[in-house]
A and B are shown apart, each in its own frame.
Chain A
Amino acid sequence: MNAIHPTVQVRQLSKNYGSVQALKNVDLSIAAGEYFVLLGPSGGGKTTLLRTIGGFHKPSSGQVWLNGQEVSHLPPDKRPTAMVFQAYALFPHMSVLGNVGYGLSLAKLPKAEVRDKSIAMLEMVGLKGYEDRRPHELSGGQQQRVQLARALVLDRNILLLDEPLAALDAQLRKDMCLELKHLQEKVGITFIHVTHNQEEAMTVADRIALIANGELVEQGAARDIYRTPERRFTASFVGENNLLSGTVASVEGDTVTVQVCGQPLSVDRRDLPVSTGATVALSIRSELVEMVPEDGSASSADGLSLAGTYTESVYLGLTLSHRVALSDGTQIVSRVVGESDAPPPVAGSAARVRWKPGALRLHIN
């Protein structure tokens, strides 16, 4: 990867629909060969961003650079991008082979070559033998494979995928995720993939950008986004984080003490500009929280635990979630893996949630 010439660069991009701002000054840079995921809630602007890169929307302001050239004024067919759509975007009146070969025949390639390339690409996506089918004779997963073949056969160096797996059922989506990842590694071109599903994003992405309310909230490697979210929103959207709000009681060097429900918690400052008395947010992933019955042995002194009331446990198969309510009603979830035959505590009994140093993260608004 080369940082000097990013394959895709978006500069100060804004898109307005009347008074609605779908994108607000987004800056983004994606390197060659990267699998990049735009993750975010529906209506957050991630699809708008992808479609603006693809040329289906004109930016209201800002620029899109692809392969080192400014392309904001170009229609989709003049851009070095190919695209895979949500669903139903196959041409129903053409065979599978016709669909895949359409772009090549537009480019006036000889018929035999169109055919050979299309068949090769169909083989690559695992649809050998389906050449003469009509799209409606294929399953949802097969249709999306045909879309992939249709886009990849064009030999462009950027592939845009707009929620390509959204219409598939859960199991198929998991399988297709892995296939997509492997396919991208094989062809080595830049993939930009839009999804609202974080598991899908985690599976495929080299890097993830979180988009919400038309803004780029945070970007980084998939692992970092999950483990060390910078922003409160990221913590609330990715993974299963407990969110707390509190007031800064004191700042000592790198350690901040935050008062939550009258109990002190200590958290790493991470060079954030915080001052005593400010309201801040704290997040902690539920799998890092341990619940213990309140037997008086533990105390709040180390700033790594909170006392509350046990409310219930939810069995989710692989994991078991214990819920503990704090005095202000905030629910803390402790997620543990594995079966436990120990009977759960009595609802309403006193309980304590605790964690290891460094698990809690500080966010300022």
Chain B
Amino acid sequence: MDDYANIWLHRAKWAYLLLVVTTLMTPVFYVMYISFNENGFGAAEYVFTTRWYGLIFADAQLMNALRWTMSLAAVTTVLTIPMALLAAKFYKATRAKVPVVFLLLAPLFVAPDILSAALLVFFKNLNFTFRWLGDQLGVSFMDGWAQLGFTTSVIGLIIYTIPYAFVVILITMGRYNKEQTEAARACGATGWRAFWDIEFPQIRPGVFSACAFTVILCFNEYTRTSLLKGGFDTFTTVLVSQMLNSGMSEQSYAMSSFVSFVAIALIGGIIVFTLLRSEAAARRAQPVAEPGTRSTAAA
């Protein structure tokens, strides 16, 4: 803002911005509020309790679902991040930028139900094809290929998360000066060493953020997992089927809040961490006194 701007107008704009953020978060906070009420939603009297959370952690089925969720998130992240890195490097090097970026960002524009319906039918057909092939060849090892299950869910989740990871990594890479890679090559580093020693340490914050994004997105995901998962259940699929079947119960409020807490804690942690780091970097950037005697270059 400049010196002549109306300070109150400026403040009003800030207030509006914060109001919007609060409005967006209100439902989540309200659910958290309810989740600690002994009497549940709509009760006249508010009694604080953590009983509903206790119920979740005592529920073996839910804990099992939570384990599935976590392994899905872990495997997806482990696969998505290297792929997003490779894709970002590929994008930087290629001249055919438009097709590459279209392929990687298009999943953002395909609604979850549509994408998972297409993948579901694709995998089922693929599975039938493998079975048929197996029958023709008289072998059975291909029967399980493309069968709905952990692998297909992971594939669905990678398609879902890779655009976010790609964009985050690409933006961080934008600040990297590629002459450094060339300098490392000139020092005798192979392409891989130059990446690992020089570029990666500098894009690491972006890679970490991309990891966090991917974990959170997987943790939250419902539609794709529920259609592609086959036999097992994840935390959100249990939660949603409970809510769709029997409406919001006290326990489902607690479950929703739990998922939200995890996500907010993760992202909040990252924000605080990056802020602290950038503050520290700013402090380091303060000019340092010249060492004792400054000799000129050898003549």
Which residues in A have some Cβ–Cβ distance to B below 8 Å? Answer: 54-56, 75-77, 81-83, 85-86, 88-93, 102-103, 106-107, 123-126, 128-130, 133-134, 136-137, 145, 147, 150-151, 154, 160, 178-179, 182-183, 186
Contact = CB atoms under 8 A, between A and B. Distances in A.
A60 to B, nearest CB: 16
B284 interface: yes
Given A54-B186, A130-B291, 11 more contacts: A55-B185, A75-B191, A77-B188, A82-B186, A85-B182, A85-B183, A90-B180, A102-B197, A124-B298, A179-B299, A182-B298
A137 B187 contact: no
Contacts, number: 98
Interface in B241-299: 284-285, 287-288, 291-299
A12 to B, nearest CB: 25
B190 A89 contact: no
Given A76-B182, A89-B177, A103-B188, A145 B285 contact: no
Contacts of B177: 88-89
A-B interface, 3 closest residue pairs, ranked by CB to CB distance from nearest: A103-B187, A129-B291, A126-B297
Interface of B: 177, 179-180, 182-191, 193, 197-198, 201-202, 284-285, 287-288, 291-299
Nearest to B183: A89
Contacts of B287: 137
Contact of B298 (A77, A106, A150, A183): A183
B179 A85 contact: yes
A65 B173 CA distance: 35
Nearest to A100: B187
Contact of B186 (A81, A91, A128): A81
Contact of B297 (A85, A106, A145): A145
B187 A134 contact: no
A93 B182 contact: no
A91 B183 contact: yes
Contact of A106 (B188, B201, B288, B294): B188
A193 B297 CA distance: 19
23 contacts: A76-B182, A76-B186, A83-B186, A85-B183, A88-B177, A88-B180, A90-B180, A93-B202, A102-B184, A102-B197, A125-B297, A126-B294, A126-B296, A129-B292, A130-B291, A133-B288, A136-B285, A137-B285, A137-B288, A145-B297, A182-B298, A182-B299, A183-B298
Contacts of A91: 180, 183-184, 198
Contacts of A103: 187-189
Chain B binding surface, main DSSP class: loop
Given A89-B180, A102-B197, A124-B298, A129 B185 contact: no
B272 to A, nearest CB: 22
B140 to A, nearest CB: 48
B180 to A, nearest CB: 6
Most buried by B among A55, A76, A123: A76
Contacts of A123: 295, 298
Contacts of A124: 297-298
A77 B194 CA distance: 10
B295 A77 contact: no
Of the candidates B191, B288, B292, the one having the most CB atoms from chain A within 10 angstroms of its own CB is B288
A76 B185 contact: yes
Given A89-B180, A106-B189, A183 B297 contact: yes
A86 B179 contact: yes
A150 B183 contact: yes
B87 to A, nearest CB: 23
Contacts of A77: 185-190
A107 B184 CA distance: 12
Contacts of A183: 297-298
Contacts of A55: 185
A154 B188 contact: yes
Nearest to A134: B284
Contacts of A76: 182, 185-186
B187 to A, nearest CB: 3
A92 to B, nearest CB: 7
Instruction: Find the residue from A106, A182, A186 having the highest chain B CB count within 10 A.
Output: A106
Given A86-B179, A126-B298, A154 B288 contact: no
Given A107-B188, A150-B187, A126 B295 contact: yes
A91 B197 CA distance: 9
B210 to A, nearest CB: 19
A129 B293 contact: yes
Nearest to B284: A134
Contacts of B184: 91, 102
B183 A83 contact: yes
A160 B298 CA distance: 20
